[in-house]
Amino acid sequence: VHGSPCLGLCEQAPGVFVQRTGQAHVSVRTATKESVVAALDGELMRPVAPVPQVAEDLTLLRRVHNAANEDYDGYVATGGYEALTKAVSMTPADVIAHVGDSGLTGRGGAAFPTGFKWSAVAGEPGPRHLVVNADESEPGTFKDRVIMEHDPYSLVEAMTIGGYAMGAEQGWIYIRGEYPEATRALKSAIAEARSKGMLGDNVGGHNFRFDIELRQGAGAYICGEETALLNSIEGYRGEPRNKPPFPTTNGLFGQPTAINNVETMVNVNQIMLMGGEGFAQQGSGRSTGTKLFCLSGHVANPGVYEVTYGATLRDLLDLAGGTTGDPRAVLMGGAAGSFIDMTMLNVPLTIEASREAGFSLGSGVIMVLNNTVDFDDFVARIARFFQEESCGQCVPCRVGTVRQSESLLRIREKGAPVEAERVMLDDFAKVMADASICGLGHTASGAVLSALDLGLIGGGS
């Protein structure tokens, strides 16, 4: 028995990864002693439903309840490839215009306008690439895993549309190594789409070429950063690159590259079906369409939930059957996010409203924590996570994450005065935010400082 990095099963913890010699590995969810023994004996355990909502209420997740769509014919029977058919009836420029008109923004945390990114890549000389970031290494995030495991063809179709629109002949999916089931599903979907003529030369009988290559990561959190991901695909250390130049001009192999995450990509199918302006009518302001949120922790029904932008945290918790115990705080955006208290339940979950309220939606993590949680330990573990996952390339992050972790250990184990440590923690945070190369250093202090602000650590009430 070995300890393991995150298995991406935050909504069904504790998770156990079972490997029997000569046999396929099995992920055991909401593991018990009995279920692990059963897995060791070769009995497959049926997982808890990852999406507690009913299919009629869903857009991006409408197919996850239907096992039939996990093969090509089943996917087509449920409306698959209608979006691609509509896309190829337009010019590539028109497809990009629809994506721009939709207001679609990145769902991985940065919220960058997708249409602008695609337009920039399309305007550069080829060859061009489309890369999907399926690394999903942020603790508490598992929405992309659900899409890839249960609706892999939707990602393949959306990528094909992107390839057509930008004139990119090669697509890449960079998937985290701890997602064996999603990897198997995608490998099967890519191979079957290729055999049906929906990948490769003359896609679907149309005069363009697009194919997809799947690359597996090795568990490094930093490879969720887009340029570290590119380095990893190229066979180098997963270290972020300095910007500029940006990937849209100098990306994979030094060529123009669009990088989108899984949730962002599958929205493209819906944009083609609804039209850009129709898609933009969903949501609120700059936050258009629906958003996937990963609810975990002390909630009755953890899982992936899809709501229109503008729903409140209270709405989401109601969908999940409410909280368990006496909730004390919510971690928004994962380890790279921040804590909020229960007075924020009515803040609309939009890009604009969350920023105004002082937190980020990030990748969609919502982790509810009740009063049984030892917050001194919880926050110290977040700090230790960043210390261990820093690639060490730049001094502010390499040293700052260590000093931050040491400060929290002094508070937790030696009872150091919070006020004195807070001065140093503020300094560490400022230096990391100002001088780190990538987002890891920029966000490594968010959870720590917000926990201090709310009095969650150091004997706070």
Q: Which residues of 309-348 are buried (b: 16+ CB within 10 A; e: fewer)?
A: bbbbbebbbebbeebeeebbbbbbbbbbbbbbeeebbebb
Look at residue 23 in the predicted model and tell me its pLDDT: 43
User: Is 50 exceeded by the pLDDT of residue 197?
Assistant: yes
Question: Higher-confidence residue: 255 or 40?
Answer: 255
Burial class (CB in 10 A: 0-12, 13-18, 19+), 216: middle
**pLDDT band at 9; cut points 50, 70, 90:** low
- Give the integer Cα–Cα distance in Å for 132 and 190: 14
CATH 3.10.20.600 given to domain 284-370: yes
Residue 418 has pLDDT above 50, yes or no: yes
Q: What is the pLDDT of residue 55?
A: 73
Confidence at 54, pLDDT banded by 50, 70, 90: confident
- Mean pLDDT, range 177-195, rounded to an integer: 96
> Between these two residues, 312 and 28, which has the higher pLDDT value?
312
Q: For position 21, what pLDDT does the model report? A: 43
Question: Residue 200, by phi and psi: left (phi above 0), alpha (psi -120 to 50) or beta?
Answer: left
pLDDT value at position 22?
Answer: 38
User: Does an H or E element contain 144, and which?
Assistant: helix 143-150
Residue 461 confidence (pLDDT): 41
Q: For position 24, what pLDDT does the model report?
A: 42
pLDDT score recorded for residue 369: 98
pLDDT confidence bin for 20, thresholds 50/70/90: low
Cβ–Cβ contacts within 10 Å for residue 163, how many?
25
Mode of pairing for the β-strands spanning 129-134 and 170-175: parallel
Q: Which residue has the tokens 């919510």?
A: 330
Residue 388's nearest CA partner among 227, 220, 256, 270 is 220
In this model, does residue 189 exceed pLDDT 50? yes
Mean pLDDT of 107-127: 95
pLDDT at 361 over 60: yes
pLDDT at residue 29 in the model: 62
User: Mean pLDDT across the stretch 344-348?
Assistant: 96
Residue 390 has pLDDT above 70, yes or no: yes
Helix %, strand %, coil % of the chain (to 5): 45, 15, 40
Burial class (CB in 10 A: 0-12, 13-18, 19+), 238: buried
CATH 3.40.50.1860 fits 375-453, yes or no: no
pLDDT greater at residue 5 or residue 55: 55
Q: What pLDDT is attached to residue 7?
A: 60
Q: What percent of the chain has pLDDT over 90?
A: 82
Q: Which of 6-20, 114-128, 342-356, 436-450 has the lowest mean pLDDT?
A: 6-20
Alpha helix stretches (DSSP H) within 275-335: 276-280, 313-319
How high is the mean pLDDT of the chain? 92
pLDDT band at residue 46 under the 50/70/90 scheme: very low
- The model's confidence at residue 359, banded by pLDDT at 50, 70 and 90, is very high
Buried b / exposed e across 423-446, counting CB within 10 Å, b at 16+?
eebeebbebbbeebbbbbbbbbbb
- The residues with which 257 forms a beta bridge, in sequence order, are 129
Q: Name the nearest CA neighbour of 283 among 271, 265, 301.
A: 271
**Alpha-helix residue ranges (DSSP H) falling in 167-304:** 180-195, 226-233, 262-274, 276-280
Cβ neighbourhood burial of 165 (10 Å; 0-12, 13-18, 19+): buried
Q: For residue 152, what pLDDT band results from cuts at 50, 70 and 90? A: very high
56 band by pLDDT with thresholds 50, 70 and 90: confident
pLDDT score of 68 more than 80: no
pLDDT-derived band at 34, boundaries 50, 70, 90 = confident
Range scoring the smallest mean pLDDT among 21-25, 110-114, 284-288, 398-402: 21-25
Average pLDDT for 131-152? 96
Whether 214 contacts 220, CB under 8 Å? no
Contact yes or no for 307/349 (Cβ under 8 A)? yes
How confident is the model at residue 141, as a pLDDT? 95
How many angstroms separate the CA atoms of 454 and 461, rounded? 9
CATH code at 55-281 = 3.40.50.11540
Task: Name 260's Cβ contacts closer than 8 Å, sequence gap at least 6.
Answer: 106, 108, 114, 117, 130, 131, 132, 133, 162
Does 65 score more than 90 pLDDT?
A: no
Residue 302 has pLDDT above 50, yes or no: yes
- In the prediction, which pLDDT does 53 show? 86
Give pLDDT tens digits for 259-292.
999 999 999 999 999 999 999 999 998 999 999 9
In percent, the amount of the chain with pLDDT more than 70 equals: 91
Cα torsion through 190, 193, 198, 202, rounded to 10: 70
**Mean pLDDT calculated for residue range 247-265:** 98
pLDDT of 36 higher than 90: no
Alpha helices in 298-374 (DSSP H): 313-319, 351-357
Helix (H, G, I), strand (E, B) or coil at 307: strand
What is the C-alpha to C-alpha distance for residues 59 and 307, in angstroms, rounded to an integer? 9
Cα dihedral 247→249→251→254 (10° resolution) = -150
Integer Cα distance of 284 and 359 in angstroms: 18
The pLDDT-based confidence of 12 (bands split at 50, 70, 90) is low
